[in-house]
Amino acid sequence: MALINYSTREIHCKIVFYGTGLGGKTTNLEYVHKQLNPSIRGEMVSLNTANERTLFFDFLPLDLGSVQGFRTKFSLYTVPGQVEYNASRKLVLNGADGIVFVADSQIEKMEENIESLKNMEENLAEYNMTLDSIPWILQYNKRDLPNAASLELLEKTLNTRGVPSFEAVAFEGTGVFATLKAISKEVLNRLT
């Protein structure tokens, strides 16, 4: 739920990184946190298990400049990707203004990607949202792996709506900021 504060001249938006387990959602946030100056990002909060799998969510607040005289603040969240944590995924999606679907490019993960996308759609429906009503983009992560599916196959299988899509290698940062820039632009475009 976007929050426009006319008193402080700020816009606050929530972006959720969704996708399969170990697909790179947390890695995206970790990279952003590592690269950005502390003056424009806050502390990253991670609620995870002992072996660092996301249990509930990761959270990272960002200050991404101004639009029409309003400072734009984004709260980035990730959901837990493991199948059994669907209840938590649903909770984190509440109030999302934009979504980045992080797809694992490995050919063996295609079915999981499809299931995760379907799961995202079902969870959005619980909030009366659809993939046509909320701004979202696709990130094809792990493009560096030898078993990465072709871009054509990923596009054909996952991007039937033709949303903006980006290739990425999140752990080294490739495509991470391009993805972030794109989703923040999509979200702000809806508000203007």
- Within 33-169, strands assigned E span 45-48, 54-67, 70-78, 98-104, 136-141, 165-167
CA distance 24 to 5: 33
Which residues, 6+ apart, have CB-to-CB distance to 47 below 8 Å? 54, 55, 56, 57, 58
Shortest distance, CB of residue 102 to other proteins, whole angstroms? 20
Shortest distance, CB of residue 180 to other proteins, whole angstroms? 17
Specify whether the CB–CB gap between 13 and 73 falls below 8 A. yes
Tokens linked to 159? 């991007």
Per CB under 8 A, residues contacting other proteins are 1-8, 11-12, 14, 42-43, 45, 47, 56-57, 59, 61, 67-68, 70, 75, 77, 87-88, 91-92, 94-96, 190-192
Beta carbon nearer to other proteins, 97 or 167: 97
Beta carbon nearer to other proteins, 49 or 160: 49
Shortest distance, CB of residue 34 to other proteins, whole angstroms? 17
Beta carbon nearer to other proteins, 170 or 188: 188
